[in-house]
Amino acid sequence: MEASRTSKLRTTVTGLLALLFIALCLGIAAAIEARAGEPELLAPTEPQETGRGTLLLRSKDAAEPCAAPLLHTDVVIRVSGLVARAHVTQTFSNPYDRWFEGVYIFPLPESSAVDRLKMRIGERVVEGEIRERDAAKKQYEAARDSGRRAALLEQERPNVFTSSVANIGPHEEIVVEIEYQQTLRYDAGAFSLRFPMTVGARYIPGSPLDSKIGTGWSPDTVRVTDASRITPPVLHPSKGPINPVAIRVELDAGVPLTRIDSPYHRVRLAKDGPRRDVIELDDGVTPANRDFELAWTPAVQSAPRAAWFAEKRGDKTYGLLMILPPRDSGSEGKRIPRESIYVIDTSGSMDGTSIAQAKQALELAIDGLAPDDRFNIIEFNSYAKALFHEARPATRENRAEARGWV
């Protein structure tokens, strides 16, 4: 993400491509910059001892980083049915009399798609654009080395990100805002969302390398060449709250609820209108030492239930229709005939156990078809070939022919 002179992404198409690439590509980074003075970055004279997982401040000459415990995170998650949009605000503070660069490794849900990054310096707000990772990093380093304010957001893993903020002035605060979207989990009649707050310890195999590209506690190895970028150090709990986090969830489930529950944090509930619940941490903030989870259960119904959500942007209105299946009442209902199209890979990569297991699974699926169902099978390798020209009824004869074809 290079510097943007406007407060919006260039075009709607650019925004859609950004969303797609940040969701699908590991090699994505984002950076934003704003001109400042030309301060000299000084090395700390007495680096403080750090444990594992806090914001680090490091100097231009790559001396040992200092710990900056004054990092605060505010999270606001707005839920509409099956979709959540989160706004994460990270406040980086420099308690020293020198200029530093802040580096913070933090998790986000692995199913999330980051689509916005902003940096606030005092009253000034700068938005960024997504760029290929190497290009974004070079632009960030150039801005940092020339004394300009800059921010870089890099995706290390689908659920691990690194936020770097250059040239944080003495006793200065810089605020980085990240926005992402995600679809929520629906299982066993309940919805749930999870906001991760700590990067767990990872198994790092392989022999250590001589160089180290990150600030983590693990050296880079021949098998995990970026291990030092995904093993953040943290302050010991005895030194105070670890990155305090405030969380607010604005929940529009679209249907009546029987229960709202947070299994790992005490929360308080409030109503904001006829169909919106507001959930906040009971203590206001919590240390970033465990994931925050929230689950809500719709009221039991014997028939499918629909919920409609609408949002107006400019002169256009966007809608989302969510349909919930009925809960199992324990009585036998009439089964609705279905049409199933099975696809099986028969390329060379499936040789051996893989193709044997795939054929067994396919035969099991064929045997499970009801007489009123329709089905077809498509085989593909370097080309695709269908068993039937179109889906056929799952009669005994057609199922026998399919098993022979398999």
Q: What global pTM score does this model have?
A: 0.66
Phi-psi region of 140 (alpha: psi -120 to 50; beta: other; left: phi over 0): alpha
| Cβ within 8 Å of residue 331, ≥6 positions away | none
Query: What Å distances lie between residue 310 and 197, 252, 255, 316, 319, CA to CA?
Result: 31, 12, 15, 10, 4
Token pair for residue 48? Answer: 């403080």
Instruction: In whole angstroms, give the CA distance from residue 222 to residue 203.
Output: 14
Q: Distance between terminal CA atoms of the chain?
A: 50
User: For residue 265, what is the DSSP state?
Assistant: S
| Cβ within 8 Å of residue 332, ≥6 positions away | none
User: For residue 368, what is the DSSP state?
Assistant: T
Element housing 401 (H / E):
helix 396-405
Give the pLDDT of residue 65: 61
Q: What angle do CA 190, 194, 196 make, to 5 degrees?
A: 165
Token pair for residue 194? Answer: 């999870």
pLDDT by residue (tens digit) across 50-67? 322 346 666 655 455 665
pLDDT in tens, the chain (406 residues): 444 433 333 333 333 223 222 222 233 344 444 433 333 333 332 333 332 234 666 665 545 566 554 578 899 999 999 999 999 998 877 777 888 787 777 788 888 888 888 888 777 777 877 788 888 889 888 988 888 888 888 888 888 888 888 888 888 888 888 899 999 999 988 999 999 987 777 788 999 898 888 777 788 998 998 888 888 766 565 665 567 899 999 999 999 999 999 999 999 999 998 889 999 999 899 888 889 999 999 988 778 889 999 989 899 999 999 998 887 655 556 778 999 999 999 999 999 999 999 999 999 999 999 999 999 999 999 999 999 999 999 999 999 999 999 9
Give the pLDDT of residue 105: 77
CA-based nearest residue to 90, from 53, 135, 55, 138: 55
The DSSP code sequence of 7-49 is SS-S-HHHHHHHHHHHHH-SSEEEEEEE----PPP---SSPPP
Phi-psi region of 171 (alpha: psi -120 to 50; beta: other; left: phi over 0): left
Q: List domains and CATH numbers for the chain.
A: 12-296 (2.60.40), 339-405 (3.40.50.410)
pLDDT by residue (tens digit) across 84-109? 999 999 887 777 788 878 777 778 88
Give the pLDDT of residue 76: 97
> Is the separation of the CB atoms in 164 and 95 below 8 Å?
no
